[in-house]
Amino acid sequence: MRILLVQESDWLERGPHQQHHLIERLELRGHKVRVIDFEVLWRNKYSKGIVSKRMVYHTRGKVCKEARISVVRPSIVKVPLLDYMSITVSHGLEIRRQIAEFKPDVIIGLGIQNTFLAMLMARRCRIPFVYYLIDALHTLIPFKRLRFLGKFLEKNTLRRCDAVCVINEGLKRYAVEMGAHPRKVRVIRAGIDVERFNPSLDGCVMRENLGICKDDVVLFFMGWLYAFSGLREVAMELARVMDVQPNLKLLIVGEGDLYAELQKIKKDHGLRQLILAGWQPYDKIPEYIASADICLLPATNNEVMRSIVPIKMYEYMACAKPVISTRLSGIIKEFGHGNGVLYVDRPEEVVEKAVEVWRSAQELGERARHFVEKYDWRKITEEFEAVLMSLLDEKH
């Protein structure tokens, strides 16, 4: 099977996300894969000229090193707002080119603009098209005044695609409300590598390297540091109680919008309990999780976070770590109560909840591991492959 995937994020530098896990494993199962991506992080880099060059990368997998993925990056206009507008032209031409040259058996879309274009071309060429949702996409558009347009395109794609795959029940409800036919929506949950993320990992060396003492209680977060991640509030609350709870540490792995502000909080408050590890290779992530006592998802309850279940939740829980999360409807629907996930109403309440439950962290972590260990990536990949193959059978 020849698979063309289109997305509006950076395949090379962001993630690994759900699509990396699935696509790399599908490539190892013998399928031919090609990815069209978008250099969303171009603002952070220096480059000559306003218009970027079309690039083709042949890269190793992020999670499966044996996988070989071809990534095509169409040119864009490197001017804020115009970069997204230029997708319509450059990605449209690239999708047409890949249909002619690569001749995909199925096309998978994870974006908005290029995914709408891919859907139209797939229908015209009678190629099965799958919309894969891991977020409520239009809510992520950085230009708020354009979200109505993103919502319009997302709705039209959902109504006209051959299948919709979502990662949890909350997004299934969202997809149906946005116009997807209920019979076309399949829940393909996020998975875990049960060998890479497991309770037997020893985090003692990592704690020692980070200057964390044996008796310290470590709260942990990893991922992109969005402004709505709730980490600002958690850090400020930690600063408020640092004299009362000196053994409480907050370890953050990742970069993003909030990183500079967290550095400033650490400096202004003399908050040595805040450890900012920055971006780390994926291979090191299990060791970082193992060094923690309690993991966090303290995000603000907004329209971006309301329906999603980040893959980090499964990885936390697979390592037998309890998780403190804000009451996000998607998280509650997915994990319920009594499965190692504890809930607070606001990010400011995370520290108090951690102090309350840390003595029972081991027991809560065991419940978490028991809940997620059935979501092995091998099973998830087979399930997704079956969806794609069934579409091909219907076509023939």
DSSP states of 207-242: HHHTT--TT-EEEEEES---TTSSHHHHHHHHHHHT
pLDDT, tens only, 187-245:
998 888 888 899 999 999 999 999 999 899 999 999 999 999 999 999 999 999 998 89
- The mean pLDDT of 175-184, rounded to a whole number, is 94
pLDDT score, position 291: 97
Tell if the pTM clears 0.75, that is, is over it: yes
Is the pLDDT reported for residue 8 higher than 70?
yes
Residue 46 pLDDT exceeds 70: no
CATH superfamily of the domain spanning 2-191+376-395: Glycogen Phosphorylase B; (3.40.50.2000)
CA dist 339 → 335, 358, 364, 365 (Å): 6, 16, 7, 9
Residue 3: φ, ψ to 5°: -115, 125
- Cα–Cα distances (Å) from 337 to 61, 257, 306, in that order, read 35, 32, 17
Helical spans, DSSP H, in 105-244: 113-125, 147-160, 169-177, 204-209, 231-241
Strands 55-60 and 68-73: antiparallel
Domain span(s) for CATH 3.40.50.2000 in the chain = 2-191+376-395, 204-372
Q: Are 218 and 192 in contact, with CB atoms under 8 Å apart?
A: no
Q: Please provide residue 387's backbone torsions phi and psi, each rounded to the nearest 5 degrees.
A: -60, -45
Q: Could you give the angle at the alpha carbon of 171 between the alpha carbons of 165 and 174, nearest 5°?
A: 110
Cβ atoms of 154 and 137 within 8 Å: the answer is yes
Q: Is the pLDDT of residue 138 over 90?
A: no
Query: Per residue in 79-90, pLDDT tens?
Result: 888 888 899 999
State how far the Cα of 300 lies from the Cα of 231, in Å rounded to an integer: 10
Average pLDDT of span 264-276? 95
Choosing among 3.40.50.740, 3.40.190.10, 3.40.50.2000, 3.20.20.210, the CATH entry for 204-372 is 3.40.50.2000
Task: State mean pLDDT over 356-375.
Answer: 93
